[in-house]
Amino acid sequence: MARRIFLYLFVFSISVFGILLLAFHYSSSAEQGSYLELKDIEQGFESGKCRSCHPAIWREWQRSMHAKAWSDPIYQEAASTVVDRQKSCDPCHAPEPVLITGIGNMPKLRAKGHQSGVSCLTCHVDVNGGMHGPSMNVDAMFHANVTNEAHTKAIELCGTCHGQSTVPEHNQVSSFKRSQAAGEGKNCATCHMPKVKRMQSTLSYERIAGRRHTWIASRSGKMLEGAADLMLEKRDGKAVIGVKNKSGHVLPGEGLRTIILDVKILNSLGHIEYHEQVKHSMMLGADQTDNRFQPDELRQFIFDLKPNRSIRVRLLYCLLPTTPESEWITMAEILE
Ligand code: HEC
Ligand code: HEC
Ligand code: HEC
Ligand code: HEC
Ligand code: HEC
């Protein structure tokens, strides 16, 4: 009798072992291909799957200019005047996934879903439906996690759209490569995707380091305040003004923007005696050339200053050529 029980137990444990082996086999082969395919992942994006497992990241992205890259009225208005917009504009504003068209290659216009602009899939998904990014510690079940340095050292990835030499007005990457920031090992995410430690998905069991999907830039007052240092020194009947570019690239970074150095000299009664505005933009230098501040550049401006005069210096930011002066934003100010 005891022998029989032993035999049963033996057979039982062999089968359990077998089942475990099988289970193990299937779970490891899952890494190679039993996750959803690209077309199901695309479907999942549209039906709100990404949002349900990554609510925090989704919320940030949804408010960002990437989510609005297509719907942005400023973009739509500008593109509406371009005859071949489908070829020369739309491909970057509603692109196919860049891991499929190739990092660094000119993006291609998506066949559908233009409204989601630069979407999660644009930056993350590969041709097999795998999701690329930093090293993760939870199996997503829905998609494969693929560790990729292109995301943790985000320069070339961004350069796919922000670094095409044929589109200089949207190129921040070329000048970034000459900057001190690049030499110090910074990348585009260092400043535009602030660090955050959090549950990266609803399935995560611990908070891990990641980055905010906000892509804050000139629409953030704080970013503008940190973009440049403004300095003033009075000596020998002169006011020497210094502007030091602290953004990681040309300043302003975008071709449509203008930075204005506004200088007012006031007499002892506080009346304006002299007023000058020096504009810096991609097309405002002599002969319509680019007179923007180069990375890390310190540029000096010298004005005559008679005795008993005070000087008010402001650095102002103008979003679009049509933005009225009343809406320019003050980046820095000195009154002495
Ligand atoms: C190589 C990719 C690429 C192409 C091609 C492209 N864009 Fe853009 N566009 C961008 C990027 C990247 C930004 C955001 C960065 C920036 O503002 O420099 C942008 C921003 C803009 C903005 C600024 C919107 C704002 O918020 O002020 C406008 C307007 C715009 N693009 C219009 C166009 C038009 C019109 C065309 C076609 C003539 C075009 N773009 C072609 C990548 C591209
Ligand atoms: C069933 C839940 C679930 C769904 C649906 C889901 N994800 Fe994930 N995703 C996860 C989990 C879990 C992780 C790992 C998080 C961790 O380790 O904390 C992850 C990680 C990621 C990563 C990082 C991958 C890596 O290796 O660095 C990206 C990018 C990502 N998801 C994007 C998406 C996108 C885009 C969608 C929609 C198409 C999506 N996810 C849908 C659960 C999900
Ligand atoms: C597939 C193309 C593409 C890629 C890749 C891309 N961007 Fe963008 N980005 C755009 C477009 C298009 C816009 C402009 C949206 C608009 O204003 O209409 C934009 C807008 C921005 C803005 C906001 C500009 C503003 O006017 O406020 C920042 C900052 C930015 N991107 C940074 C990045 C960074 C950092 C990366 C890399 C991690 C990156 N982008 C990758 C296309 C791209
Ligand atoms: C040291 C911090 C820093 C780094 C690194 C950096 N940027 Fe910026 N970036 C800024 C600041 C500050 C601004 C706002 C001032 C301006 O408009 O240029 C800005 C502006 C921009 C803009 C213009 C947005 C607008 O609203 O007009 C884009 C696009 C952009 N950066 C993309 C990039 C890309 C792509 C990289 C990587 C090559 C990068 N940045 C690296 C700090 C940085
Ligand atoms: C413009 C490109 C871009 C877009 C659009 C984008 N991401 Fe990311 N994502 C990145 C980069 C770059 C990183 C790497 C950040 C880092 O170094 O931690 C990242 C990281 C992640 C991670 C890993 C956690 C973290 O914060 O590092 C997840 C999960 C993720 N993204 C999900 C999403 C989802 C979901 C969407 C859409 C709602 C989305 N991403 C849209 C570029 C993008």
CA of 248 to the centre of ligand 5 (A): 21
Domain presence at residue 3: no
Domain presence at residue 136: yes
| Confidence band, pLDDT 50/70/90 cuts, at residue 327 | very high
Q: Whose CA is nearest to atom 36 of ligand 1?
A: 89
Judge if 45 and 89 occupy the same domain.
Answer: yes
Domain presence at residue 275: yes
| pLDDT tens digits along 276-321 | 999 999 987 667 789 999 999 999 999 999 999 999 999 999 999 9
Q: pTM for the whole thing?
A: 0.92
CA torsion, points 54, 59, 64, 66, in degrees to nearest 10? 40
Last residue of a domain, one of 192, 211, 230: 211
| pLDDT tens digits along 142-165 | 999 999 999 999 999 999 999 999
212 in contact with ligand 5, CB cutoff 6 A: no
Per-residue pLDDT for 18 more than 50?
A: no
Last residue of a domain, one of 211, 231, 248: 211
CB 248 within 8 A of CB 174: no
Looking at the CA of residue 253, tell me the nearest atom of ligand 4.
Answer: 18
CA of 215 to the centre of ligand 1 (A): 15
Q: Where in the sequence is the domain holding 177, given as residue range(s)?
A: 38-211
| pLDDT tens digits along 221-255 | 999 999 999 999 999 999 999 999 999 999 999 99
Looking at the CA of residue 122, tell me the nearest atom of ligand 3.
Answer: 1
Q: Whose CA is nearest to atom 41 of ligand 1?
A: 89
Judge if 226 and 207 occupy the same domain.
Answer: no
Name the region of 287 (left: φ>0; alpha: ψ -120 to 50; beta: rest). left
| pLDDT tens digits along 75-125 | 999 999 999 999 999 999 999 999 999 999 999 999 999 999 999 999 999
Looking at the CA of residue 138, tell me the nearest atom of ligand 2.
Answer: 17
Domain presence at residue 261: yes
CA of 23 to the centre of ligand 4 (A): 49
Last residue of a domain, one of 156, 181, 211: 211
Judge if 188 and 274 occupy the same domain.
Answer: no
User: Closest ligand to 140 CA?
Assistant: 2
Burial classification of residue 284, based on how many CB atoms lie within 10 Å of its CB (0-12 exposed, 13-18 middle, 19 or more buried): middle
Number of structural domains found in the chain:
2
